[in-house]
Amino acid sequence: MKDVTIYHNPRCSTSRSALAQLREAGIEPRIVEYLKSPPSRDELRAIAAANGSGVRGLLRRKEALYGELGLDDPTRSDEALLDAMLAHPSLIERPIVVTGRGARVCRPPERLREILP
């Protein structure tokens, strides 16, 4: 399968597991270490749409900043959430895999199967 991207944190065991599953399936994805090279606002919007979860579904709720910035407030707009993720890439949930069949936050890693052939 061509054009597979994983937004990856090599320090995260779940992210490493998803990457291993891709490789076991014979797929060598484009690896984006999103803490070093975060996706753009437009990329995050596209990922959220392809994931079907909306922008809020891309937020890492376990991150301390999530609570500190009040991102659990349901009245926060998508633009405000995107602003927070762009300013603090650690707020982006991981891993995210994008294929021609969609995008998934692969937490648990088995969600990857939903977008593989």
Catalytic residues: 12
What are the strands, taking DSSP E only, across the chain?
5-8, 30-33, 96-99, 102-105
What would the two tokens of residue 16 be?
């490493």
Q: Are 96 and 115 in contact (CB under 8 A)?
A: no
Residues 6+ apart with CB under 8 A from 15: 6, 8, 9, 94, 95
What would the two tokens of residue 25 be?
């399936």
